[in-house]
Structure 1
Amino acid sequence: MNTTKHILIAGCGDLGLRAAHLLLQQGHVVYGLRRNPPKPPIPAQTTVPQIKWIPADLCQPDSMQALPEKISDIVYCPTPSQRTENAYRAIFIQGLDNLLDKLNTTWLRRIVFISSSAVYGEHHGNWVDENTPLLPLGMNGRVLQEAEQQLHALPYKSIILRLSGLYGPEKLQLLARIRAGQTRVPRHETHFANRIHIEDAAAAIVHCLHLHQPAPCYLVSDNTPLPIDELYDWLANAMQVPCPPEGAPPAGIGNKRLINTLLLESGFRLRWPDTKQGYTALLNDQSV
């Protein structure tokens, strides 16, 4: 067992919750910061270690007056309130500044920052890795690139995790859109989709918190980038609904295949290395 860490998960939503529960199972003390924390269980009803919730808003410094002491690690994985540049900058750049300004950082050793593969530009279907130059096409990628640069200037060991598209029990939007006939796919050119199961993404966060000599950045994606039309047609067939019609590829993300070799070489193992296998398990779940 590793030395007990005191870990603050800032923006503790679906992904952060999964990471928090893994960390609690390892015996660490976990704080979850979010605007509206869930109600804790009645103490008499549970003996399992629980997340210590902090009701606060990263964009409102005055709301962070009661932050805990002795935080050794931060996982920074908030969600913007809106898909606008102002909202992205407020949460990913100013929000991190606000948190570090209010937190007693005497014990802080490591920050794991959840970024996105949107920081890459257009690569025409080629493979990209952690060393591929960044030239983001969209607003979200540009702000995240700036946030990454800010992070590396801080006096703490920082690890950036660039996640591909999340899917899993809490991330069913794509399935709903395919069922509703709201998706389009490019059929005259191959345009790739990269995915990571939310369970694997959470496990990768925990893995990187424990690495002794981590790289500054890891791509977090599974082993099977797939043409969008192949993936969406396969999902439609699995759900027994019509395949999506021809249309433009998603805007602002570029066409690329993500290489996860560096993460795997660090000792990480994917539970769901194949996108179709992961979605099969999801579709077989009676709750879907």
Structure 2
Amino acid sequence: MRERVLLIGCGDLGLRVARRFLARGDEVHALRRHPPAGDDSGIQWLQGDITRPDTLPALPQGVTRLIHLPSPGGRDPEAYRGVFVDGLANVLKALDGSRLQRIVFVSSSAVYGEHHGDWVTEDTPPAPQGFNGRVLLEAEAALAAQPVSSTAVRFAGLYGPGRLQLIERLRSGAAGAPVQPEHWANRIHIDDAAAAVVHLALLPEVEPIYIGCDDTPLPLHVLYAELARMIGAPEPRIAPAPANVGSKKLSNARLRASGLTLQWPDSRLGYAALLAEDSAAQA
């Protein structure tokens, strides 16, 4: 069956999700405040601001899969609530839900907070340290109350093409990490994240929550040291842990058990491939 997909927000991750649906032969619509001009990708663009219902265009009829992955307009609680809580409510109010079979909500592992390096699963009680995690939890709860199949995928830190800021910081000596106690880091390649979104959108049955990360949590200083070695940068300095992130090892067992296979199960392999591509492009 050909799906009619609506993406709310369509930045880097959204575009990769859209391409995967298009490759299946699905019909893809995407709503953004500022759609790209002259795009011939096959995406049917819509212009509107989900925080302002009066700006929303007529949404397509008969949407079967709704993917909510907007970008906040600012780094503050109001901006987050505007797109993730109020914006989702505005979209659902404007949408013809007669054929809607699944909503996928892109959330964040920021909902979990500090766990001192312990393993975290979907059953671990959330304890966000920052407003972003608190707002996302509020949005997840609002979504779960909707009378339609839905799931939230809590992604770890995304990396991928065009996301090499960490590499530049390592080259300049600006990146550092604690050694004792270790701070555990979790990553997922953006292409694996896109694959996860499409996979969960199309599964016959879903759990309410999935953690989206690779198979290999790493101490931050180990990851930084390995990346520095790859690029010939100095050994990373010892520095405090990132603020309001929390040290934890995320488990993707539920996501893998659902049938998803990751292309990049270890971020060191993913970064090595990215660096090779970047080097080839500059040659």
TM-score (norm 2): 0.95
Q: 1:132-175 CA distances to partner (integer Å, 9 max, x unpaired)?
A: 11111111111111111111011111111010000000322222
Shift, 1:237, TM fit: 1.7
Which whole-Å CA distance do the structure 2 matches of 1:62 and 1:142 have between them? 27
Q: Name the counterpart of 2:6.
A: 8
Q: Name the counterpart of 1:227.
A: 219
Q: Name the counterpart of 1:263.
A: 255
Q: Name the counterpart of 1:32.
A: 30
Q: 1:245-278 CA distances to partner (integer Å, 9 max, x unpaired)?
A: 2111011111100111111111110000111110
- The letter of the residue matching 2:38 is P
RMSD: 1.3
- The letter of the residue matching 2:212 is V
Which whole-Å CA distance do the structure 1 matches of 2:33 and 2:162 have between them? 19
For the pair 1:127 / 2:135, whether they are aligned, the reply is no
Superposed, 1:1-288 pairs within 5 Å as 3-41=1-39, 50-285=42-277, 286-287=280-281
Shift, 1:228, TM fit: 0.3
Question: Which secondary structure does the structure 2 equivalent of 1:276 belong to?
Answer: helix
Check whether the contact 1:14–1:170 (CA below 8 A) recurs between aligned residues. no
TM-score (norm 1): 0.94
Check whether the contact 1:162–1:219 (CA below 8 A) recurs between aligned residues. yes
Check whether the contact 2:47–2:57 (CA below 8 A) recurs between aligned residues. no
Structure 1 consecutive aligned stretches of length 4 or more whose deviation exceeds 6 Å? none
Question: Which secondary structure does the structure 1 equivalent of 2:90 belong to?
Answer: helix
Question: Which secondary structure does the structure 1 equivalent of 2:170 belong to?
Answer: helix
Check whether the contact 1:7–1:29 (CA below 8 A) recurs between aligned residues. yes
- The letter of the residue matching 1:15 is L
Question: Which secondary structure does the structure 1 equivalent of 2:176 belong to?
Answer: coil
Q: Name the counterpart of 1:46.
A: none
Question: Which secondary structure does the structure 2 equivalent of 1:106 belong to?
Answer: coil
Which whole-Å CA distance do the structure 2 matches of 1:173 and 1:80 have between them? 20
Which whole-Å CA distance do the structure 2 matches of 1:89 and 1:176 have between them? 32
Question: Which secondary structure does the structure 2 equivalent of 1:107 belong to?
Answer: coil
Which whole-Å CA distance do the structure 2 matches of 1:22 and 1:41 have between them? 16
Question: Which secondary structure does the structure 1 equivalent of 2:237 belong to?
Answer: coil
Shift, 1:177, TM fit: 2.3
Which whole-Å CA distance do the structure 2 matches of 1:8 and 1:213 have between them? 20
Shift, 1:57, TM fit: 1.3
Check whether the contact 1:65–1:102 (CA below 8 A) recurs between aligned residues. no
Gaps of 5+ in 1: 43-48
Check whether the contact 2:30–2:44 (CA below 8 A) recurs between aligned residues. yes
- The letter of the residue matching 1:26 is R
Gaps of 5+ in 2: none
Shift, 1:32, TM fit: 1.0
